[in-house]
Amino acid sequence: MTTRHLSLLKPTGRLTLGNLLGALRPMAAAQDGADCYYGVADLHAMTVTHDPAVLRERTDELRLLLLAAGLDRSTLFVQSRVPAHTQLSYLLECVATTGELSRMIQFKEKGRGVGSTRVSLYTYPALMAADILLYRPARVPVGDDQRQHVELTRDLAQRFNRTYGEVFTVPELVVPAAGARVMDLQDPRSKMGKSSTDTAGVIHLLDSPDVVRRKVARAVTDSDTGPDAVRPDRERKPGVSNLLEVLVACGGSPAGLTTYGALKRAVTDAVVAVLEPLQQRYADLATDRAHVADVYAAGAARAREVTAPVLAAAEAAVGL
């Protein structure tokens, strides 16, 4: 059986160079010889106060960016267009307990004890479990921040299977090969995040070459001078190390670079060379909306088709 991969990205904030190197590139590489389902998790963008117009705009941008990033050999879909996700989520809420949902880190840190917290912030781990279980992937690669969610998914699947009969494939949790981790250019000890409010150190995928140049030029380095100042040392030289990693991940070479000015020019050139073709494809797609709509309509139809038997089996098992 072909391996199946599944990955959903949340349309909150604008995608960054970190998303490209840490997520979209590996997702594109995974397409060889595998059956990939990649989607826009629009429902997950509603667990906190949201503006409908912004959600629509971000969802649209992400739809184009997934295509522009070369994921065109995958089944691409928007989560809300595949109702099985919310339908199965409810069935899983009926196996999940308030104890385990209360222990989920996001809820503990952002919502517990706050009267205005949306119920969906409490229940979204069940939706995430549905996102995964519907596609029966054998393995789910997880970074540290997602470990708790996938463990809950396994617990819910096992409990469901024990209580109502074998319906779900219990996915194995695998630690992905250490991928690029891009740090904020202004705060190189923190991840470059798409939801950061201060974007001076964040390179967005649609930033123009000028904006990239300005952000890289202002990147935090250190006061080392001398012939070996340009060297990696995550602990003592986080800014310089980050620039070197970005340079190499974007196809550049640190050979012969001895000053921070030269390093920054090389980083700018390498990043712009990676972003330009992506931005060109994005611009082409933006003028061919009918094509984008067709791709996502076909993707949602395929996603509905492959998830229907799983949902039907789960419904029958619980007595619906």
Known catalytic residues? 110, 191, 194
What's the residue count for the chain?
320
Give the nearest distance from C-beta 50 to ligand AMP in angstroms.
Answer: 15
> Which residue lies nearer to ligand AMP by CB, 139 or 162?
139
Residues near ligand AMP (CB under 6 A) are: 9-10, 18-19, 21-23, 143, 180-182, 191-194
Token pair 């106060």 is found at 49
Cα separation, 76 vs 311, in Å, equals: 20
> Which residue lies nearer to ligand AMP by CB, 219 or 310?
219
H helices of 165-250, where? 209-217, 238-249
Rg of the chain's alpha carbons, rounded to an integer? Answer: 21
Give the nearest distance from C-beta 305 to ligand AMP in angstroms.
Answer: 26
- Strand stretches in 47-126, DSSP E: 75-78
Nearest residue to ligand AMP by CB is 22
Cα separation, 13 vs 237, in Å, equals: 28
Burial class (CB in 10 A: 0-12, 13-18, 19+), 227: exposed
Which conformational region is residue 28 in: left (phi greater than 0), alpha (psi within -120 to 50 degrees), or beta?
alpha
The span from the first CA to the last CA of the chain, in angstroms, equals 31
Q: Give the CA distances from residue 296 to residues 169, 232, 286, 289, in Å, rounded to whole numbers and listed in that order.
A: 26, 42, 14, 11
- Contacts for 78 with CB less than 8 Å, ≥ 6 apart: 39, 40, 42, 59, 63, 296, 300
- Contacts for 273 with CB less than 8 Å, ≥ 6 apart: 250, 251
224 φ, ψ to 5°?
Answer: -60, 145
DSSP state of 184: P
DSSP state of 80: G
DSSP state of 12: S
Give the nearest distance from C-beta 68 to ligand AMP in angstroms.
Answer: 16
